Amino acid sequence: MFRSPKCGAFTAALLMSISPVLIAGPLGIGAPATAEMIAGWDIDIRPDGQGLPPGAGSVADGEGLYEAQCASCHGLFGEGAGRWPVLAGGEGTLDTAHPEKTVGSYWPYASTLWDYIHRAMPYPAPQSLTDDEVYAITAYVLYLNDIVDDDFVLNQETFQEVKMPNEPNFYIDDRPDVVNTRCMANCADPALFEIVTTINGVTPTAHFKEDSGVAANHYGNESSGAESVKVALSDAAVAGESVHAKACNVCHGAGIAGAPVTGDAGAWTDRIAQGMSTLNKHAIEGYVGKNGVMPAKGGNMALSDDEVANAVAFMVESSQ
Q: Which stretch binds ligand HEC (CB under 6 A): 52-60, 153-161, 227-235, 254-262?
A: 254-262
Q: Which of 56, 153, 195, 250 forms a contact with ligand HEC (CB under 6 A)?
A: 250
- 270-297 burial string, b = 16+ CB within 10 Å, else e? ebbeeeeeebbbbbbeeeeeeeeebbeb
Binding residue for ligand HEC, selected from 45, 216, 294, 313, defined by CB under 6 A: 294
Is position 304 an interface residue for ligand HEC (rule: CB under 6 A)?
no
Whose Cβ is closer to ligand HEC: residue 45's or residue 315's?
315
* Nearest distance in Å: CB 94, ligand HEC: 13
Question: Which of 208/268 has CB closer to ligand HEC?
Answer: 268
Should residue 165 be labelled a site residue for ligand HEC when binding is judged by CB under 6 A?
A: no
**Distance of alpha carbon 205 from alpha carbon 238, whole angstroms:** 13
Residue 312 contacts ligand HEC per CB under 6 A: yes
Total residues binding ligand HEC (CB under 6 A): 48
Kindly report the backbone phi and psi dihedral angles of residue 288, in degrees, each rounded to the nearest multiple of 5, phi listed first.
Answer: -110, 120
* 233 secondary structure, DSSP code: P
- Regarding 99 and contact with ligand HEC (CB under 6 A), the answer is no
Q: Is the peptide bond preceding residue 122 cis, with omega within 30 degrees of 0?
A: yes
Asked if 85 is part of the footprint of ligand HEC (rule: CB under 6 A), the reply reads yes
Phi, then psi, of 293 in degrees rounded to 5:
-105, 125
How far is residue 80 from each of residues 85, 104, 117, 201, 287, measured CA to CA in Å?
5, 14, 16, 30, 39
Does position 251 bind ligand HEC by CB under 6 A?
yes
CB 218 within 8 A of CB 194: yes
Q: Is 258 in the site for ligand HEC (CB under 6 A)?
A: yes
Q: Which residue is nearest to ligand HEC (CB)?
A: 289
**The CA-based dihedral angle spanning residues 77, 80, 86, 87, taken in that order and rounded to the nearest 10 degrees:** -30
Nearest distance in Å: CB 100, ligand HEC = 10
Of residues 275, 257, 266, 270, the one with CA closest to residue 312: 275
At residue 70, the 3 state secondary structure works out as coil
Minimum distance from residue 286 beta carbon to ligand HEC (Å): 8
Residue in 60, 72, 93, 153 binding ligand HEC, rule: CB under 6 A? 72
142 lines the binding site for ligand HEC (CB under 6 A): no
Pick 214 or 261: Cβ nearer ligand HEC: 261
DSSP 234-288: PHHHHHHHHHIIIIIHHHHTTTGGGPPPTT-HHHHHHHHHT-HHHHHHHHHH-EE
* Residue 291 binding ligand HEC, by CB under 6 A: yes
Task: Work out the angle between the directed axes of helices 110-120 and 131-144 (0-180°, nearest 10).
Answer: 130
Q: Which residue ranges make up the site for ligand HEC (CB under 6 A)?
A: 69-70, 72-74, 84-85, 87, 103, 113, 116-117, 121-124, 137, 141, 247-248, 250-252, 257-260, 271, 274, 278-279, 282-283, 289-295, 297-299, 303, 308, 311-312, 315
